[in-house]
Chains A and B, each alone.
Chain A
């Protein structure tokens, strides 16, 4: 007992526990997001279910995908079904317990299809009209092939779960799957394809269908434009602080102030961006160059350029800190050697110092990009919107439209999770978007960490000139 106390074992265990809990929390968070996000694209089996409502004994029927199931406290099973929106008037997600379900059959001909206007339909096909005279009724074995090879003027009649029949033109059907017939490999293919489509399509139905391409594109383009601003200024400012400014309390104060900017709440930058960039700077630009279109603002309203500038200001300290760290790692002897050989300051800087600092600069840039990609709060103020009608880049002169509003992954998460009424339908998309954002940021950070490690190895022995 005494030894236990003096050895501080309790404390050691507590500290080990603290670390495990922290890491466990991260693992749970990321795992949870990954499972929730990815499972949405896995073709879940379709069931034909006869059930009754909790308080109403009359039998009802639904055809729906079984999204997930869980055991309840009473030891029974509970299932989450997704049925066609067209059937359920936005009540497309429904939880049913064992007790409510009478029969649950998984027939091979049940299908899901994406319709241009109705969205996703989950139904039983009953009639395929290839031409006015020739019709096919299931279940022939080659039923899927028949549909896929049919002429575009053919019509398909479906039976929705509530007994309602629906006849659709094949032209309007974007995609058809028969999840109950798919093998494991085919399911993987559908999964991959769904994921890909998610990345390249625009959101439909208020973000509950389609993909997130504009948000992804918006994120990438803001970050790229930000890089254009932040790289030269950040690197040169770091060079100024480290090589040109006379060391002394003024430089030290500036350095601390700049470093502090990294810890300043991002919302402060957002507000400054809105007040100064958008209202003051943008307003002046409008009065000088776009006065004919006033009072409709061109640049005096939130837009892409202001998002990028705000992000550039936000990430400036990251680049400066990292570059300065890199500059500090270069042995003095290298610079002195270059100068002694008659090279001018510019030549030393361009040919000797900057090439050696490149990995540090890159590290800083990647970290800056990672930080910028994850920011949301400041962007809400300076130009990110829930739905932008046009991409900021198109074939129309001047091609890159700096004044347009954009969509952004982070804001898309916030918007879908909190601003849409249909949480059940939008949540899978939120999870996938979150997963994508996290992966993007982890990837960026990992590459920054690897670069930094390489850099450390390179300069491990500071005394030895290279």
Chain B
């Protein structure tokens, strides 16, 4: 902003001042809105992080002065005497009697589950978790109310806070050196009172709002009550019996990746090959039509695609599974065969039909679809010797109506335009003189594509794939409507999945703000956000590098 030259006349000077003011105001407004955008971007990260952070906050145990608690409050405490016979402490952790705790004389605590044996063997108690934070005999096991954590106190005045379902000790430390006579835990699980042998009473404030969440419970297999082995479980719906949610983000992450993987498997070949054809083999006039129509395709609301996939495609695929699978595999082979047949025809026909090859393909495709049922039933009886679904059942492969195949096709369809349009941009902006040079040296169009264009544009195509992958990771509606939303940990094409995004859309409206469930959901959003942000940045950097390279060529 260069200052305007000093005006000479007074009248003009007023005008100049006004102009300068206006300049300043305008500049301020524009700068501030620029900053607003940057700040709101940062705010999204920071705010989500800030909301997620409390679940990872270490537990705080702070002494409270007795005077700070009101008389009423203190009188509401129920005092329990400590157990002085350390070998006999057995504690039923919950009313359902499926889990109990025992202590040993050296301060060890074991957790036992009442488990059904494998076929035939009777149910029995089995040791599942062991807590080894104490060095002295245990005086008391104190269950928390409303949840499955418990506290343990030993003869040396050592306190430990545990969470039974994950078998983790969350905090441990010394409270006092004096012998303890009785204890009391408030119903909010927040205030622990201890009565000492000297008659003194002391209180501690325990800040432990999210005992369920730790790196272990989020990422590792955990053996929950009533289950025979450690598993990754996402089960947020609080049933009466197990009202602590099981929050493993592994099934959701696997579901997200599985869906994205199958979608990419479907979309990548179609989009990239389509882009190659559009950028390189298609007459310009037609290309001017194709590009906008693909862009239009990108704007198709995913709720519509999800609806068609969930209501029509899923039952269709279930009914015609063999045909669909067989078609997906044989269609490329069929096209290769066609191209070979085509090469048998003399060159003059080629020349005459060259630009309308694309149109010719449509009747060929129709013929393919017409022949598909016959060919596939032949194939089915030849390879599987029975119905494919029976074959799957025989080999213990589960089949769900809304499955990976449906998602692969539907979401693949949704991300084709994204990949196509970026890949086409990368391919068509390869400098013309490169191809012309290759052609002049006698290369066939295919050879010049293979040797010159594809290597030059490969980085751009790669960035297109990354962007497409990012979009598949974050897609919500298609997954919500057509994936079955079962939190499974497998890569079976014929089973459903639950993705992070669909899970958020389903559960967040019901989650109470500030609760553990809410914060874990925000954590999954943050993961999605950071992951796609990194992917997109990578793609942007690749594209930038490519642009520079094109300019140098």
A residues with CB within 8 A of B = 3-4, 6-26, 29, 32-33, 232-233, 236-237, 239-241, 243-245, 254, 256-261, 263-268, 270-272, 274-276, 279-280, 313, 316, 320, 342, 344-347, 349, 370-371, 373-377, 380-381, 410-411, 413-414, 417-418, 423, 427, 430, 434, 437-438, 441-442, 444-446, 449
Residue of B nearest to A258 (CB): B37
What are the 7 A-B residue pairs with the smallest beta carbon separation, nearest first? A265-B474, A8-B446, A240-B34, A374-B301, A13-B339, A377-B476, A236-B33
Cβ of A263 and Cβ of B277 under 8 Å apart?
A: no
Cβ of B343 and Cβ of A21 under 8 Å apart?
A: no
Partner of A16, one of B31, B33, B310, B357: B357
Given A256-B540, A417-B310, A449-B295, do A346 and B343 touch, yes or no (CB 8 Å)?
no
Given A22-B420, A236-B29, A410-B303, do A14 and B343 touch, yes or no (CB 8 Å)?
no
Q: Does B517 contact A (CB under 8 A)?
A: no
Cβ of A349 and Cβ of B540 under 8 Å apart?
A: no
- The CA of A241 and the CA of B33, in the complex, are separated in Å by 10
Partner of A19, one of B290, B301, B505: B290
Cβ of A18 and Cβ of B477 under 8 Å apart?
A: no
Cβ of B301 and Cβ of A376 under 8 Å apart?
A: yes
28 pairs across A/B with beta carbons < 8 Å?
A4-B343, A6-B444, A8-B449, A9-B342, A9-B446, A12-B445, A14-B273, A17-B273, A19-B273, A19-B277, A19-B290, A22-B270, A22-B294, A29-B308, A240-B31, A259-B540, A263-B471, A266-B474, A268-B532, A274-B508, A346-B19, A349-B26, A374-B299, A377-B480, A381-B508, A417-B310, A430-B307, A441-B300
Cβ of A244 and Cβ of B27 under 8 Å apart?
A: yes
Given A6-B447, A8-B450, A376-B477, do A381 and B509 touch, yes or no (CB 8 Å)?
yes
Taking CB atoms, residues of chain A closer than 8 Å to B22 are: 344, 346
A187 to chain B, nearest CB (A): 27
Taking CB atoms, residues of chain A closer than 8 Å to B296 are: 442, 445-446, 449
Q: Does B59 contact A (CB under 8 A)?
A: no
Q: Does B292 contact A (CB under 8 A)?
A: yes
B548 to chain A, nearest CB (A): 13
Q: Does B4 contact A (CB under 8 A)?
A: yes
- The CA of A307 and the CA of B358, in the complex, are separated in Å by 44
Taking CB atoms, residues of chain A closer than 8 Å to B48 are: 271-272, 275
Cβ of A4 and Cβ of B47 under 8 Å apart?
A: no
Taking CB atoms, residues of chain A closer than 8 Å to B532 are: 263-265, 268
Q: Does B38 contact A (CB under 8 A)?
A: yes
Which chain B residues (321-369) contact chain A, with CB distance < 8 Å?
331-332, 335-336, 338-340, 342-343, 357-358, 361-362, 365
B549 to chain A, nearest CB (A): 17
Interface of A is mostly: helix
Which of B214-222, B376-384, B386-394, B520-528 lies at the interface with chain A? Answer: B520-528
Taking CB atoms, residues of chain A closer than 8 Å to B301 are: 373-376, 410, 434, 437-438, 441
Cβ of A237 and Cβ of B299 under 8 Å apart?
A: no
B529-551 vs A, Cβ < 8 Å mask (1 yes, 0 no): 10011011101110000000000
Most chain B CB inside 10 Å of its own CB: which residue of A23, A245, A260: A260
Most chain A CB inside 10 Å of its own CB: which residue of B299, B302, B525: B299
Cβ of B273 and Cβ of A268 under 8 Å apart?
A: no
- The CA of A14 and the CA of B238, in the complex, are separated in Å by 51
B264-302 vs A, Cβ < 8 Å mask (1 yes, 0 no): 000001111110111001000000001011111101111
Taking CB atoms, residues of chain B closer than 8 Å to A275 are: 47-48, 51, 513, 522
Cβ of B475 and Cβ of A265 under 8 Å apart?
A: yes
- The CA of A320 and the CA of B33, in the complex, are separated in Å by 11
Cβ of A268 and Cβ of B529 under 8 Å apart?
A: yes
Cβ of B278 and Cβ of A264 under 8 Å apart?
A: no
Given A260-B533, A265-B476, A345-B27, do A8 and B501 touch, yes or no (CB 8 Å)?
no
Taking CB atoms, residues of chain A closer than 8 Å to B41 are: 257-258, 261
B1-40 vs A, Cβ < 8 Å mask (1 yes, 0 no): 1001000000000000001101100110111011011101
Cβ of B292 and Cβ of A268 under 8 Å apart?
A: no
Residue of B nearest to A446 (CB): B296
- The CA of A376 and the CA of B505, in the complex, are separated in Å by 10
Taking CB atoms, residues of chain A closer than 8 Å to B525 are: 267-268, 271-272
- The CA of A9 and the CA of B525, in the complex, are separated in Å by 46
Chain B residues within 8 Å of chain A by Cβ, number: 105
Given A22-B271, A241-B34, do A8 and B444 touch, yes or no (CB 8 Å)?
yes
Most chain A CB inside 10 Å of its own CB: which residue of B296, B303, B365, B480: B303
Taking CB atoms, residues of chain B closer than 8 Å to A446 are: 292, 296
- The CA of A264 and the CA of B311, in the complex, are separated in Å by 28
Q: Does B230 contact A (CB under 8 A)?
A: no
- The CA of A24 and the CA of B44, in the complex, are separated in Å by 40
Q: Does B416 contact A (CB under 8 A)?
A: yes
- The CA of A268 and the CA of B45, in the complex, are separated in Å by 10
Partner of A237, one of B37, B44, B294, B501: B37
- The CA of A126 and the CA of B40, in the complex, are separated in Å by 68
Q: Does B470 contact A (CB under 8 A)?
A: yes
Partner of B23, one of A7, A10, A15, A346: A346
Residue of A nearest to B450 (CB): A8
Taking CB atoms, residues of chain B closer than 8 Å to A274 are: 508
Cβ of A20 and Cβ of B358 under 8 Å apart?
A: yes
- The CA of A265 and the CA of B418, in the complex, are separated in Å by 14
Cβ of B336 and Cβ of A10 under 8 Å apart?
A: yes
Cβ of A267 and Cβ of B273 under 8 Å apart?
A: no
Cβ of B477 and Cβ of A414 under 8 Å apart?
A: yes
Cβ of B509 and Cβ of A380 under 8 Å apart?
A: yes
Cβ of B34 and Cβ of A237 under 8 Å apart?
A: yes
Cβ of A276 and Cβ of B504 under 8 Å apart?
A: no
Cβ of A15 and Cβ of B37 under 8 Å apart?
A: no
Taking CB atoms, residues of chain A closer than 8 Å to B311 are: 417, 423, 427
Q: Does B88 contact A (CB under 8 A)?
A: no
Partner of B37, one of A20, A233, A346: A233
B129-163 vs A, Cβ < 8 Å mask (1 yes, 0 no): 00000000000000000000000000000000000
Taking CB atoms, residues of chain B closer than 8 Å to A381 are: 505, 508-509
Taking CB atoms, residues of chain A closer than 8 Å to B281 are: 12, 15-16
Given A22-B420, A263-B467, A272-B44, do A16 and B476 touch, yes or no (CB 8 Å)?
no
Cβ of A10 and Cβ of B34 under 8 Å apart?
A: no
Q: Does B262 contact A (CB under 8 A)?
A: no
Cβ of B528 and Cβ of A267 under 8 Å apart?
A: yes
Partner of B536, one of A18, A19, A260, A437: A260
Residue of A nearest to B475 (CB): A265
Residue of A nearest to B291 (CB): A449
Taking CB atoms, residues of chain B closer than 8 Å to A33 are: 304, 308
Taking CB atoms, residues of chain B closer than 8 Å to A374 are: 299-303
- The CA of A144 and the CA of B151, in the complex, are separated in Å by 82
Q: Does B43 contact A (CB under 8 A)?
A: yes
